[in-house]
Amino acid sequence: MIAYFVSDIHLRSIQEVNARLLVRFLKSVTKKDGVTHLFFVGDIFDFWISDHKYFIEKFEPIINEVQRIVSEDIVVYYFEGNHDLYLSSYWTDRLGVKVFKDHEVFQLNGFKVRVEHGDLIDPEDKGYLFLRKVLRTPVIEYVAHNSPEKFIAKLGEKASQASRYYTTNVKTQRVEETIDKIHTYAQKKIKETEFDFIVTGHVHVRDEFSFVWGEKRIQSVNLGSWMQHPSAYRLTEKGGGFVDI
Ligand SMILES: [Mn+2]
């Protein structure tokens, strides 16, 4: 068993360096090298909603690789982030990728692994939590699915040009505080669901942390962001660790 986890690549175009790195990484995700699972843990794209042709064409080389990976019977999961939403109509129905909106616990070769995007790690981020609620209302879902392709293309271009201020500055200002929040979240969630690993993203701070719960050592992993450090978390029956991309 080899499982890879990636998140928060925030791709805006297929021309950028991280898009090339992602395609190269996906090419290395093969059955012959023993890969069994691939987890997209949200915000892979800086903007993708629903099943619009605009996104499918824009990110075609990535889609082609995902198709090839699925055809090799490698299990691919996609956890929606806050920049990639309403994915199931294309990613599940057309590509065969199971999509999750919330957390999920997987049994991976003896390890119980809890996976989620991580947008609930910071309870003080009230503005974001409100936005999260709004984005997930039926009205927005309807608009996301039914907006004309032209409007989506406009929105997509706007999103691609939008300032990186929030994601590059605001989010990384208080690294220690964020790390505390990741650890607190893991220690809180273990009281609700049993797991050996908790894998999150969203807060853009790459972090590995372990703590003892009862008789067990629990591992908490935050995947960080490719804007700082392109990497994937690799889990095998021996345990896990980051690999540089
Ligand atoms: Mn996010």
Query: What value does the mean pLDDT take over residues 143-169?
Result: 77
More confident residue, 17 or 170: 17
CA–CA–CA angle 18, 208, 203 (5° rounding): 55
Q: How far is the CA of 81 from the centre of ligand 1 (A)?
A: 5
Q: How far is the CA of 73 from the centre of ligand 1 (A)?
A: 28
**Is this prediction's pTM over 0.85?**
yes
Could you tell me if residue 205 is inside a domain? no
Could you tell me if residue 215 is inside a domain? no
Q: How far is the CA of 65 from the centre of ligand 1 (A)?
A: 23
- pLDDT at position 163, please? 58
43 has pLDDT over 70 = yes
169: pLDDT confidence band, cut at 50, 70 and 90?
low
Domains identified in the chain, total number: 1
Residue 49 lies in domain: 2-100+119-172+228-244
- pLDDT at position 134, please? 86
Taking each helix axis from N to C terminus, what angle separates 60-71 and 17-27, rounded to the nearest 10 degrees? Answer: 10
pLDDT in tens, 76-102: 999 999 899 999 999 999 999 999 999
CA dihedral 7, 49, 129, 187 (to 10 degrees): -30
Could you tell me if residue 36 is inside a domain? yes
Q: How far is the CA of 116 from the centre of ligand 1 (A)?
A: 10
154: pLDDT confidence band, cut at 50, 70 and 90?
confident
Q: How far is the CA of 141 from the centre of ligand 1 (A)?
A: 18
Cβ–Cβ < 8 Å for 178, 76: no
